[in-house]
Chains A and B, each alone.
Chain A
Amino acid sequence: MTAKTTTQTEPQWFVNRKPGRSIIVARWVPVALVSAPVLILFAIVIYPTIWMFYHALQDTNMVRLFQGSWSYVGFANFAGVLGAERFWNSVVNLLVYLSFGACLQVLLGAALALILYETVKSNALRTTLLILMVLPMMLPPSIVGVVWRFLLTPSNGAINQALLNLGLIDSHIEWFNAGVSLWSVIIADVWNWTALPLLIVYSGRVSLPPAVYEAAQVDGADGWTTLRRITLPMLKEIIAIAFIIRFMDALKFVDLVFVMTSGGPAQSSELPAYIAFQRGIRSFEIGEAAAYAIIIFIFSAVLITLFLKYIKKVLNAQGFA
């Protein structure tokens, strides 16, 4: 009786709607849907991370890992890493790589992007040049490493031959000697990765409002003033993002070092991530590699925090956040 009066007062769509699913389905389907990605995330990110933090405090190596006989050693792994000349050597290399590799890539990429945008007026030509400039980024680093290894071969490599023929040098440069090999890696990496900041800055420049540039012209600003007062300030967040991306990549930079120099000669071109890779994957000193990884992790955590602070400040200043 009551059911009938209800159906009369409800709208038609409500009456005809599908009957509610069973309480179990309604209750558990959302949970199941959410838990699948959480489980995957746990399996491939969270568990290994916890595992790493745990083993950073153990004396784990391959033998002890398989025997299950590792034991707690406190911060001995960290003390070992921080006390080793090899680590500090790699930190110096990292700083060199950051300032002459990552920074150079961003500055060069930004400069190329702006030159391309401002000077090439034909749309088709600009797109073609952009594609050509971005091509190196499409190659896998292992290939890039091999190619540059060939190009830089001291005795009959193309680069040395070209420099000799141009009369810029008198004798072969030994590209893979100690003190030079890191620079060879940096050259190859700049060639490989300048395209990324180029793309980022170029797309940033494209999205700037053209009316502002017209206003600047009418205000009497010439090209240089416009660049200094309008373009660079408006692109500074974009350029900062390019910097941070390259810096984060630098901290885990292994591939080119491995392919081109294997950290050599005599560990002179090693970077921290490469040592972690060597100790963990080649020598199976799990504990020591984990300590390396955590040190790098802390370093990048600091970096990303500073960056987020900066972005937040910028957004605050612009009234977004």
Chain B
Amino acid sequence: MAGLETRGLCKGWDFPLLDQLDLSVEEGEFFVVVGPSGAGKTTLLRLIAGLESADAGRIFIGAREVTRIPPYHRRAAMTFESYALYPHLSVFENIASPLRARGERDPSVRRRVTAIAELLQIERLLERKPDEVSGGQKQRAALGRTLAADPEVFLLDEPLSHLDARIRHDLRRQFHTLEALRKTATLYVTHDYTEALSLGDRIAVIGGGGFLQVGSARDIYENPVSVEVARHLGQLEINVHDAELVAQGGQLQARVAGAGDLSFPVAEQHARQLTAASTSAKREVSLAVRPQHIALAGPDAGGVPGVAESFQAFGATGALTVTVGGATFRVLTSPDLDFREGMPVRLAFDTAHFLYFARDGGRNLARGESGDG
């Protein structure tokens, strides 16, 4: 039995937000929903928690239908992006509050709160009021309150968004090992794709009223169903160009529109699917290349000549913008590149990792068989 399930869940205000959403999270599964703001992530959590009522559809927590049950009788624990800590209660009492609501005895409350506070490294703050701790500490207190609840489903709304990098990393690691989360269905909502890819047992990309794609991190990253999904995941945005598929001497070529005679040979596994999917040999597509699948080639190693336009160095990587003909490519490089504006560079494209999308609708035309992990 699924830990959490929704069937045909609909919710809208003066516009439809969630349309016929089906979701199933197993017990002990860490399910991450990632998507841009305004896509309905938080609304989905609020519907499941019972803070909003669904316009249509059904919600199951455990084996029980809870669609019409008030929030305090649903066994769901939720963190709020705004923390929603009780300002008049100490951090201790905040964390203890789900236990108090259940009428648990004092010694067991104290034991459990202390354990959670240690886990979240806020044991020194327990006697303070929420106003007297920092944003990141508030967020941890709110997370602590959720963890204390012992529910059938955890609903986490961007619980790491306001933490500094180190604690964020620590907690992200802890999410994998937390006993409570390993036993319970967890629905985790974030706009941060790295968080999603690193945390999720399964990941759903939300957009346009429903899930665009549900799958493992690897599957979603390497085999996005649509250009929208591909665009959403990735530190540097994926390069997308209009291209034309042309058969040339028994070899399928992708000719990039508006970039002179720039064309790439289509890798064999893609060519098979592209030709199978279309009847005509000539076809308009969107060609997508992730920045890390373009490398700077040495001066005499061949490759496509281009002109470097701009460069940004991040800590561990660099982002170089190169124009080839009329097309612009973002390239992932090392951060210590010796950059001059307008300098000539040579690019080596890894055609095996190219993605081909339909020009209209953005459907992936050559999803690899390797996917569906």
Residues of A within 8 A of B (CB): 209, 211-212, 214-222, 225, 229-230, 233-234, 317-319
- CB-CB under 8 A for A211 and B80, given A217-B72, A220-B72: yes
Q: Give the residue among A209, A211, A217 with the most B Cβ atoms within 10 A.
A: A217
Q: How far is it, in angstroms, between the C-alpha of A212 and the C-alpha of B102 when the chains are bound?
A: 18
Q: How far is the CB of A215 from chain B (nearest CB, A)?
A: 4
Interface residue? B340 (CB, 8 A): no
Q: How far is it, in angstroms, between the C-alpha of A212 and the C-alpha of B50 when the chains are bound?
A: 15
Interface residue? B49 (CB, 8 A): yes
Q: Which residues of B contact A221 (CB under 8 A)?
A: 72, 97, 101
Q: How far is it, in angstroms, between the C-alpha of A208 and the C-alpha of B217 when the chains are bound?
A: 41
**Interface residue count on the B side (C-beta < 8 Å):** 30
Q: Which residues of A contact B71 (CB under 8 A)?
A: 214, 217-218
Q: Which residues of A contact B100 (CB under 8 A)?
A: 225, 229
- CB-CB under 8 A for A214 and B80, given A220-B101, A225-B101, A229-B100: yes
- Would you call A233 and B88 a contact (CB within 8 A)? yes
- Would you call B97 and A219 a contact (CB within 8 A)? yes
Q: How far is the CB of B106 from chain A (nearest CB, A)?
A: 15
Q: Give the residue among A211, A216, A218, A222 with the most B Cβ atoms within 10 A.
A: A218
Q: Which residues of A contact B70 (CB under 8 A)?
A: 217
Q: Which residues of A contact B365 (CB under 8 A)?
A: none
- Would you call B129 and A214 a contact (CB within 8 A)? no
- Would you call A216 and B51 a contact (CB within 8 A)? no
- CB-CB under 8 A for A218 and B77, given A229-B100, A319-B129: yes
What 20 new A-B contacts, CB under 8 Å, besides A214-B71, A215-B78?
A: A211-B82, A211-B83, A214-B51, A214-B80, A215-B86, A216-B97, A216-B101, A217-B72, A218-B49, A219-B98, A220-B72, A220-B73, A220-B98, A220-B102, A221-B72, A229-B86, A229-B97, A317-B129, A319-B129, A319-B131
- Would you call A318 and B131 a contact (CB within 8 A)? yes
Q: How far is it, in angstroms, between the C-alpha of A212 and the C-alpha of B93 when the chains are bound?
A: 14
Q: How far is the CB of B161 from chain A (nearest CB, A)?
A: 16
- Chain B, 35-49, contact with A by CB distance < 8 Å: what is the 0/1 string? 000000000001001
- Would you call B51 and A234 a contact (CB within 8 A)? no
Residues of B within 8 A of A (CB): 46, 49-51, 70-73, 76-78, 80, 82-89, 97-98, 100-102, 129, 131-132, 145, 149
- Would you call A234 and B87 a contact (CB within 8 A)? yes
Q: Which residues of A contact B46 (CB under 8 A)?
A: 214
- CB-CB under 8 A for A219 and B101, given A214-B51, A234-B87, A319-B131: yes
Q: Which residues of B contact A211 (CB under 8 A)?
A: 80, 82-84
Q: How far is the CB of B28 from chain A (nearest CB, A)?
A: 21
In the complex, residue of chain B having the shortest beta-carbon distance to the beta carbon of A235: B88
Q: How far is the CB of A43 from chain B (nearest CB, A)?
A: 45
Pick from A215, A233, A318, A319: contact of B84, CB below 8 A. A215
Q: How far is the CB of B174 from chain A (nearest CB, A)?
A: 22
Q: How far is it, in angstroms, between the C-alpha of A234 and the C-alpha of B73 when the chains are bound?
A: 24
Pick from B50, B88, B145: contact of A219, CB below 8 A. B145
Q: Which residues of B contact A215 (CB under 8 A)?
A: 78, 80, 84-86, 145
Q: Can you list 19 contacts pairing A with B, beta carbon distance less than 8 Å?
A: A209-B84, A209-B87, A211-B83, A212-B84, A212-B85, A217-B51, A217-B71, A218-B71, A218-B78, A219-B101, A220-B72, A220-B101, A220-B149, A222-B101, A229-B89, A229-B97, A233-B88, A234-B86, A318-B129
Q: Which residues of B contact A225 (CB under 8 A)?
A: 100-101
Q: Which residues of A contact B145 (CB under 8 A)?
A: 215, 219
- CB-CB under 8 A for A222 and B72, given A212-B84, A212-B87, A217-B51: yes
Q: Which residues of B contact A233 (CB under 8 A)?
A: 88-89
Q: Which residues of B contact A214 (CB under 8 A)?
A: 46, 49, 51, 71, 80, 84
Q: How far is it, in angstroms, between the C-alpha of A318 and the C-alpha of B131 when the chains are bound?
A: 7
Q: Which residues of B contact A220 (CB under 8 A)?
A: 72-73, 98, 101-102, 149
In the complex, residue of chain B having the shortest beta-carbon distance to the beta carbon of A211: B84
Q: How far is it, in angstroms, between the C-alpha of A214 and the C-alpha of B71 when the chains are bound?
A: 9
Q: Which residues of B contact A219 (CB under 8 A)?
A: 72, 77, 97-98, 101, 145, 149
Q: How far is it, in angstroms, between the C-alpha of A288 and the C-alpha of B323 when the chains are bound?
A: 99
Q: Which residues of B contact A209 (CB under 8 A)?
A: 84, 87
Q: How far is the CB of A207 from chain B (nearest CB, A)?
A: 12
In the complex, residue of chain B having the shortest beta-carbon distance to the beta carbon of A237: B88
Q: Which residues of A contact B102 (CB under 8 A)?
A: 220
Q: How far is it, in angstroms, between the C-alpha of A220 and the C-alpha of B101 when the chains are bound?
A: 6
Q: How far is the CB of B280 from chain A (nearest CB, A)?
A: 56
Q: Which residues of A contact B51 (CB under 8 A)?
A: 214, 217-218
Q: Give the residue among A212, A222, A234 with the most B Cβ atoms within 10 A.
A: A212
Q: Which residues of A contact B88 (CB under 8 A)?
A: 233-234, 318
In the complex, residue of chain A having the shortest beta-carbon distance to the beta carbon of B142: A215
In the complex, residue of chain A having the shortest beta-carbon distance to the beta carbon of B155: A218
In the complex, residue of chain B having the shortest beta-carbon distance to the beta carbon of A236: B88
Shortest Cβ-Cβ A-B pairs, 10 listed: A211-B84, A215-B84, A217-B71, A220-B101, A219-B98, A221-B101, A218-B78, A233-B88, A220-B72, A219-B97
Q: Which residues of B contact A216 (CB under 8 A)?
A: 72, 86, 97, 101
Q: How far is it, in angstroms, between the C-alpha of A317 and the C-alpha of B89 when the chains are bound?
A: 11
Q: How far is it, in angstroms, between the C-alpha of A219 and the C-alpha of B78 when the chains are bound?
A: 8
